[in-house]
């Protein structure tokens, strides 16, 4: 059973090498007119001009995917918290999400690292806020490899997104980690394919 099972409407964000998603409305997956709905990672940013693999220059997955977050974070730390960076990150050769959040937890969520994480995820917070205001979901579920950071990540997302919501939304949208973790998208896709197959038979 997944985190979104008890909800009739929700947004699912898959944080991996890219950023994928899904929209659930009235208990049904919204696939769009051409089956492409849920391409959350593309477009959506006016704050950078980095080239994405899709060909666009303004994709949020270029700065907010699980593979790009560590390097983006190190850049912020070096620019704003150099002493903290030199003490805790200077000698780390291959920083990934798992190690990043181990450091965050072991250092008891230092303000330098917390502020940098909030900044590096800001583009994604903007995206979530926009869709929450547009679609009025009951829940936002975060899955994929990036979600393996656990409750520390969830806490950051709750804070970052709620700061961008109007008062009417702040306390009515739940934020959850995918119980099925990195397999959530694959299991959901398989279930959807089975459901569609049964409908046609």
Per-residue pLDDT tens for 110-141?
999 999 999 999 999 999 999 999 999 999 99
Residues 137 and 188 in one domain: yes
Q: Of 82, 101, 119, which marks where a domain is finished? A: 119
Q: Beta-strand (E) ranges in 48-138? A: none
Residue 183 pLDDT greater than 80, yes or no: no
Residue 77 pLDDT greater than 80, yes or no: yes
pLDDT at residue number 55: 84
pLDDT band, residue 3 (cuts 50/70/90): low
Residues 160 and 196 in one domain: yes
| Mean pLDDT score, 81-107 | 95
- 88 part of a folded domain: yes
- 87 part of a folded domain: yes
Q: What is the CATH number of the domain that holds 194?
A: 3.30.420.40
Residues 134 and 107 in one domain: no
- 46 part of a folded domain: yes
The CA–CA distances, whole Å, from 188 to 103, 109, 144, 151, 154 equal 32, 33, 12, 22, 21
Residues 87 and 50 in one domain: no
Mean pLDDT value across the chain: 87
- 142 part of a folded domain: yes
pLDDT at residue number 187: 55
Q: Which of 80-84, 144-148, 175-179 has the highest mean pLDDT?
A: 80-84
Residue 57 pLDDT greater than 90, yes or no: no
pTM of the model: 0.85
Residues 6+ apart with CB under 8 A from 102: none
Give the domain range for residue 153.
10-61+127-200
- 1 part of a folded domain: no
Residues 97 and 173 in one domain: no
Percent of the chain with pLDDT over 90: 58
pLDDT band, residue 191 (cuts 50/70/90): very low
- 183 part of a folded domain: yes
């Amino acid at each position: 059973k997944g985190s979104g099972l008890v909800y009739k409407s929700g947004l699912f964000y898959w944080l991996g090498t890219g950023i994928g998603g899904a929209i659930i409305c009235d208990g049904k997956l919204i696939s769009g007119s051409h089956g492409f709905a849920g391409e959350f990672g593309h477009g959506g940013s006016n704050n950078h001009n980095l080239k994405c693999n899709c060909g666009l220059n303004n994709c949020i997955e270029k700065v907010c995917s699980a593979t790009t977050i560590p390097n983006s974070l190190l850049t912020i730390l070096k620019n704003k918290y150099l002493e903290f960076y030199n003490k805790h990150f200077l000698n780390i050769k291959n920083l990934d999400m798992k190690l990043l959040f181990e450091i965050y937890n072991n250092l008891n969520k230092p303000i330098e690292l917390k502020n940098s994480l909030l900044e590096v995820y800001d583009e994604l917070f903007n995206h979530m806020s926009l869709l929450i205001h547009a679609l009025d979901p009951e829940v936002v579920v975060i899955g994929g490899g990036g979600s393996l950071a656990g409750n520390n990540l969830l806490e950051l997302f709750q804070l970052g997104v709620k700061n961008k919501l109007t008062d009417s939304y702040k306390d009515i949208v739940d934020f959850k980690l995918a119980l099925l973790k990195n397999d959530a998208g694959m299991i959901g896709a398989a279930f959807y394919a089975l459901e569609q197959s049964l409908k046609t038979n």
